[in-house]
Chain A
Amino acid sequence: MTDRAKFIANVTNSLGRIDVLVPTAPDASTGTAGFDNPDAIKANADRALADAEKRASELTGLMAYSAASAGWNVHRAANPEDAAGLIANICERKNAQSVLRSTHDVLSQIGVDVAVTSTGATIGITEHSGENSSAKVDQSKATAFSADIGITGVDYAIAETGTVVLHPRSGLSRLVSLAPATHIAVLKPGDVLDSLDELFALERNDFLNGELSGSLNLISGPSKTADIEGTTVTGIHGPLEVHLIILE
């Protein structure tokens, strides 16, 4: 008997049974969502997206409010030029030397590269080179750790909690939103979900379609701790300062 088989057999025994019992659906109103049928899951996901579209301006307003209470510096940009101006401003104020960005479309749309380089900073893009050696991975890490600012788009936002959701992938590294001391996220209306329920409905649908990303990050404000005398301090391991630019 393998360790696994022995372990699980003991669990079965402890439950007072001889064989593993395949669960049947619990009360749908209170129990786990594990028993929803695929059609219902797809319908939930479709509804979440349709809702985000239909209620875009309302949800963006809610997002701006909860993001501010979560500690994001929220900026509204009326057009791409404004957004570029805001980014250049932050780079200047932080005296940034090197900036790293993701390949989100919205960033090219606002001409972020020009905005950053106009301040004298260099810009790097977190795009996978096609090479998977450990030296290459180490190099990416070193680049992220030495960057002053990381700029990303937003895959989804969550109005309930003021959260920016990112799915790391080629073109969006895990560290670009974590290692630099400042993170700027650019949000388009229409990408804001109502609540965590909608986000996980979408994730679950992706999972059933075999499209789950390797990892998922929910980011709600700057890194913080209250481990010394209960005093909240901003900026411990992740960014000390985070900006959310809402592009109207």
Chain B
Amino acid sequence: MKPLTVNFRDKAASTLKDKQIQQSLEHVYTGFFQGRLAAAGDTPDWNELRTKGKAIKDHTIAHLDYYLEQLTDNVEKNGGSVFFAEDAAEARKHIIDLAHKRNIKTVIKSKSMVSEEMGLAEAMNDEGFETIETDLGEYIIQLADETPYHLIAPAVHKSRKDVAKLLDDDFKEGDPVPDATELTMMARKKLRSVFERADMSVTGVNFAVAESGSIALVTNEGNGRMTTTVPRVHVAVMGMEKIVPSIQDLSTMLRILIRSATGQRISTYVTMINEARKSDEEEGPEEFHLVIMNNGRQKLLANPQMRESLNCLRCGACLNACPVYRKIGGHAYGWVYPGPIGSIISPVLTGLKDASNLPNASSLCGACHDACPVKINIPRMLLELRWRTAEGSTGKNERTSSYNERRIWGLWRLGMMGRRRFDFGARIASIVLRPLAKNGWLKKAPPPVSGWTSTRDFPLVASRSLKSRLHKRDRKAKP
């Protein structure tokens, strides 16, 4: 998927003005955010579980090379194949080639953010394969030709009327809008016939278990089970970080993932796939393929400041907790991963220069850190990326600060380094800015300060410093 992170400001501004989307975004808070709080409150050892989850992920990422070897050996031992893709294009090509070789006609997908990175559904449709998303939210998004709005609720911004227009061929403006149940049943009927004829599936991976070569999938709808049962070829795609060492670790990870995602104790279905159809099974795919993708993740791994972001379970809790996401919505972030987690991984995976607004789209309130099931310190990484846009290397497509901006902050720094300099600087600022101000506030300043005053007023520096006022008062008070 082509990153559009550079359009952040425009997209955020238009979402803020869209009343219907603002209303839809309420569901994120009332549904998911409060659901997670209730589930966490209901789980006596919640914090210990999160600590344990973090320890499991920290350990796995620190030994990722070892666990990738182990996972690959075991998938192959179970009769599956593993393909390592350096980037989205390699992964796409591998899967499309496989589909051609197997003479595939219809491909069904269950929700996978990694396949969004690949732009896989679109590419496969262009190649002539009928490729259909089966998660209801993803299906709606596919019909609308949009990208997911949320990690686990891709169509959260769509109203019932929007959905009716997409799902119901006979729906006309002015018709009564069907309720959610009627619309869901319409989708069930349409997708049932797709399931029955599909001959290949592409799914994501919630967890890959290194010791047994298994994958685990979490769904409420049942499409995770359909896609891993009906077609004759099953392809699972994963980012290289989605590993846990042992089967036993799944109990901890499923508990924290699902509670954090939807507030449920468990999703309706958890499916663990250990191998393709066994010879005494009636149904199941003939082949299992696992695609493990880098696509920039090794950059996150190589940077000790950013490595922790690979612990992410993609539950969406940080989105639901984020006061900024809940206002500007998912599309402003411009790539596959919205919200706080997107603000730290998109810049590294797609280029910081275009995405330089993302790390600034936060008040650093820390709600994402509190909500994260594996305690990822997102605010710390936001600051790291902000530092890089200001002072980072120019060669690596990082720094976006202008020469003037750096000069101004250089002067500021100089001024802050001594009491006398500070007093002197404050007096100069007061004299220079006074003619431009009205009632003590600077509302419109010339460039380069206009960047600040276009969205905020700047308070005028007081004519006399606090220190000198106190000084004067003390003198008066003396007998």
Contact = CB atoms under 8 A, between A and B. Distances in A.
Nearest to B266: A161
A233 B180 contact: yes
A30 B84 contact: no
A20 B302 CA distance: 15
B232 A134 contact: yes
A219 B51 contact: no
Contact of B212 (A127, A207, A238): A207
Nearest to B227: A237
Interface string A15-44: 111001111001100111110100001000
A75 interface: no
A192 to B, nearest CB: 15
Given A34-B211, A225-B221, A229-B24, A220 B266 contact: yes
Contacts of A36: 246, 248
Contacts of B286: 134
Interface string B203-229: 000000011101000001111011011
Interface stretch (A81-89, A104-112, A114-122, A173-181): A173-181
B269 interface: yes
Given A23-B63, A218-B270, A231-B180, A128 B294 contact: no
Interface stretch (A53-61, A90-98, A140-148): A140-148
A207 B274 CA distance: 10
B294 A170 contact: no
B82 to A, nearest CB: 7
Contacts of B283: 137, 140-141, 144, 173-175
A82 B211 CA distance: 44
A220 to B, nearest CB: 5
B389 to A, nearest CB: 23
A175 B268 contact: no
Given A141-B283, A214-B284, A196 B271 contact: no
B281 interface: yes
Contacts of A70: 265-266, 268
B251 A196 contact: yes
A25 B151 CA distance: 33
Interface stretch (B156-164, B333-341, B376-384, B470-478): B156-164
A220 B269 CA distance: 6
Contact of B66 (A23, A161, A169, A178): A23
Interface string A157-194: 00011110000111001110010000000000000000
Interface in B36-90: 51-52, 55-56, 59-60, 62-66, 68-69, 72, 82-84, 86
A152 interface: no
B156 A224 contact: no
A214 B281 contact: yes
Contact of B136 (A6, A222, A228, A238): A228
B242 to A, nearest CB: 14
B282 A226 contact: no
A12 interface: yes
Contacts of A215: 228, 271-275, 284
Nearest to A170: B280
B95 interface: no
A221 B136 CA distance: 18
A132 B279 contact: yes
Given A23-B66, A30-B55, A212-B212, A236 B184 contact: yes
Contacts of B445: none
B136 A15 contact: no
Interface string B277-296: 11111111010000010100
B245 interface: yes
B374 interface: no
Contact of B281 (A10, A163, A173, A229): A173
Nearest to A238: B222
B281 A169 contact: yes
Contact of A221 (B30, B154, B268, B274): B268
Interface residues of A, number: 86
Contacts of A27: 55
A237 B109 CA distance: 13
Nearest to A199: B251
A223 interface: yes
B59 A26 contact: yes
Contacts of A66: 265
B312 interface: no
Nearest to B209: A207
A7 B279 contact: no
Given A8-B69, A214-B281, A163 B266 contact: yes
A134 B270 CA distance: 27
Contacts of B156: 227, 230
Contacts of B345: none
A23 B154 CA distance: 38
Nearest to B159: A229
Given A137-B282, A233-B180, A15 B65 contact: yes
Contact of A178 (B159, B222, B255): B222
Contact of B222 (A195, A214, A226, A237): A237
B155 interface: yes
A203 interface: yes
Nearest to A11: B65
27 contacts: A12-B65, A13-B302, A14-B299, A21-B66, A23-B66, A30-B51, A30-B52, A31-B52, A137-B283, A141-B196, A145-B196, A161-B266, A170-B280, A173-B282, A174-B281, A200-B251, A207-B211, A220-B269, A223-B222, A225-B221, A226-B153, A227-B153, A228-B184, A230-B156, A236-B221, A237-B191, A238-B269
| The 6 A-B residue pairs with the shortest CB-CB distance in the complex, in nearest-first order | A238-B222, A230-B27, A33-B248, A34-B245, A227-B137, A34-B246
Interface of B: 24, 27, 30-31, 51-52, 55-56, 59-60, 62-66, 68-69, 72, 82-84, 86, 134-137, 140, 153-156, 158-160, 163, 179-181, 183-185, 187-188, 191-192, 195-196, 210-212, 214, 220-223, 225-226, 228-230, 232, 240, 244-251, 254-255, 262, 265-284, 286, 292, 294, 298-299, 301-302
Given A215-B228, A227-B140, 10 more contacts: A3-B83, A23-B63, A36-B246, A178-B222, A204-B246, A216-B272, A217-B272, A218-B269, A220-B266, A230-B31
